[in-house]
Amino acid sequence: MSSGIEIQLIAIIVALSCVLPGVFLVLRRLSMLVESITHTILLGIVLAFLITHDLNSPFLIIGAALVGVLTSWLTELLSKSRLLSHDACTGVVFTLLFSIAVILLSKFASKVHLCTDAVFMGELAFAPLNRLLVSGYDLGPVALYVSGVILLVNLFIVVLFFKELKLATFDPMLASVLGLSPVVMHYLLMTIVSVTAVGSFQSIGSILVIAFMIGPPVTAYLLTDNLKHMILISAGGAILNSILGYHFAHMLDVSLAGSMSCMIGVSFLLVFIFAPQRGMLSMNRRRRRQKLEFAKSTLLFHLYNHEPRVEREQSIARQLNWSAEFSLLVLQILKKEDKLRISADGVRLSPMGYEQLKQDQQAIFNRL
């Protein structure tokens, strides 16, 4: 396998393992807690590293997972005191743990290989250099195996607990009534988030883990209402972004992870603008259409309300406080639809106008 393919494969596996918990994080509004965890796991990594002096030790993952859960627990603890607002609790916990990590790092780890740049930025390009050798046979890069295992674990947990996670996400009350503790689900989620983040930090760096976790699910959120579809679309998006990002980075000779997260941003932007139902364009179009439809029934109702008085064409704009052009537009449309009769003495409803008005009113008042 060439190193290019290996890099892409690693990126895809990392992206997929980020997306799986990510979908639930977006739906449970925990994005900023994750932003905080992806920073604080540094403390777990540093502590474990100071003990083992080995960047590939599994203790790093255990340490990170513990600190991740600790972050979530401390944030809840502060929040429960009701002395601080919730976002302040997140901010205080995350900056405190992160500062401790940075100080430990610069005091004790500066002479060894764990440099801050590597933790924040990661270096996907170097991932294929560290090979797994079993009695002389080259079995491929270590990172491939590490991220592969994490992906399998995440997949296993999400498939196994799909029902529970779904319930705890959409209806925590019901979940706890049914005996599926939402608290257990919460910490389970936080644990796999921390494990995923620490497994990925060597390749994409701790800050960009959040782009991989939140970006594709948020994008998918604008495209579907179905949880399963959301997971599938996010996964597809994650794969696509990784491949595109790789080639873009290769072309310009820039940071791989950075360019992948740029691709995540670009694909979100495209979906944000062009998505069929929730995109900005279709939303604007719909709002405009609704405004016109609404103006039509407003005008009909207005004329009806003022019966038997007959309104003049010119005075309608003033009465409704519309611009002259807008009221002309609405009048013309209604006339074309034969719902109005415009004569020399003013504007009247036609039989079809009455029919329309009746329908509109029924629709509006029955909703109450």
Partner 1 sequence: MDASIYSAVEVEDLTVAYNSKPVLWDVDLKIPKGELMAIVGPNGAGKSTLIKVLLGLIKPVSGRYSFPDYQNCSLKELKRHIGYVPQSSSVDWDFPATVFDVVLMGTYGKLGWIKRPGKREYELTRSVIEQVGMSQFMDRQISQLSGGQQQRAFLARALAQEADIYFMDEPFAGVDAMTEKAIVVLLKGLKAQGKTVIAVHHDLQTVAEYFDWVTLLNLKIIASGPVDETFTDTNITQAYRGGLLNSKF
Partner 2 sequence: MFDSLYELISNYTYQTVALGSLLLGLISGVIGSFTYLQRQGLLGDGISHSTLPGIAIVFMLWQSKNNALLLIGAAIAGLLAMMFVLNIVKYTRVKFDASLALVLSVFFGLGMVCMTYVQNMPNASQAGLTSFILGQAATMLRSDLYFMLICALIVLSLAMLYWKEFQLFIFDRDFAQSSGYSTSLINGILACMIVMGIIVGLQTVGAILMCAMLISPAAAARQWTDKFPSMVILSALFASISGLIGTSISSLVTQMPTGPSIVIIINSLVIVSMLIAPRRGLIAKVCQRRQNRINFNKKSLENVLGN
The window from 138-146, 278-286, 342-350, 357-365 that contacts partner 2 (CB under 8 A) reads 278-286
Residue from the set 19, 199, 268, 295 that interacts with partner 2 by CB under 8 A: 268
Query: Residue 306 CB, nearest distance to partner 1 (Å)?
Result: 9
Q: Tell which phi-psi region holds residue 331, choosing left (phi > 0), alpha (psi between -120 and 50) or beta.
A: alpha
Cβ(230)–Cβ(169) under 8 Å? no
CB of 309 to partner 2, least distance (A): 35
- Counting residues that bind partner 2 (by CB under 8 A) gives 61
Considering only residues 309 through 338, tell me which ones interact with partner 1, judged by CB under 8 A. Answer: 319-322
Separation CA 110–CA 108 (nearest Å)? 6
Question: For residues 217, 223, 224 and 227, what is the CA-based torsion angle, rounded to 10 degrees?
Answer: -10
Three-class DSSP category at 16 = helix
| Continuous H helices in the chain | 3-27, 31-52, 58-80, 86-108, 116-121, 142-160, 162-170, 172-177, 182-204, 209-221, 227-252, 256-274, 280-305, 313-320, 324-336, 351-366
CA 47 from centre of chain = 31
State the binding partner of 158 from partner 1, partner 2, none, CB within 5 to 8 A by kind.
none
Beta strands 137-141 and 131-134: pairing type? antiparallel
Tokens of 260: 């992948």
**DSSP output for 169-207:** HH-HHHHHHTT--HHHHHHHHHHHHHHHHHHHHHHH-TT
Q: Is 315 in the site for partner 2 (CB under 8 A)?
A: no
- Residue closer to partner 2 by CB (options 98, 201) is 98
- What tokens appear for 249 in the block? 């980075």
35 binds partner 2 (CB under 8 A): yes
Per CB under 8 A, 302 contacts partner 1: yes
- Per-residue contact flags (x/-) with partner 2 for residues 45 to 84, judged by CB under 8 A: ---------------------------------x--x-xx
Which of 86-94, 137-145, 314-322, 352-360 is the region at the interface with partner 2 (rule: CB under 8 A)? 86-94
Binds partner 1 (CB under 8 A): choice among 95, 106, 332, 362: 362
Rank residues 75 and 327 by Cβ distance to partner 2 and give the closer one.
75
259 binds partner 2 (CB under 8 A): yes
Round to whole Å and give the CA distance between 212 and 101. Answer: 23
> Cβ of residue 336: shortest distance to partner 1, in angstroms?
21
Do 140 and 1 form a contact (C-beta atoms < 8 A)? yes
Instruction: Provide the residue type at 177 as one letter.
Output: V
Tell me the three state secondary structure of residue 348.
strand
Q: Is 272 in the site for partner 2 (CB under 8 A)?
A: yes
The angle that helices 86-108 and 31-52 make with each other, rounded to 10 degrees, is: 20
Nearest residue (CB) to partner 1, 135 versus 321 = 321
Figure out which of the listed residues 31, 181, 298, 350 binds partner 1, where binding follows CB under 8 A: 298
Q: Shortest approach of partner 2 to residue 333 CB, angstroms?
A: 27
Q: Which residues lie near partner 2 (CB under 8 A)?
A: 26, 29-32, 34-35, 39, 78, 81, 83-88, 90-92, 94-96, 98-100, 102-103, 106-107, 110, 116-117, 120-121, 207-208, 210-211, 214-215, 218, 221-222, 249, 252-255, 257-262, 264-265, 268, 272, 278, 280, 283
Q: Which residues lie near partner 1 (CB under 8 A)?
A: 287, 290-291, 293-295, 298, 301-302, 305, 319-322, 358, 361-362, 364-365, 367-368
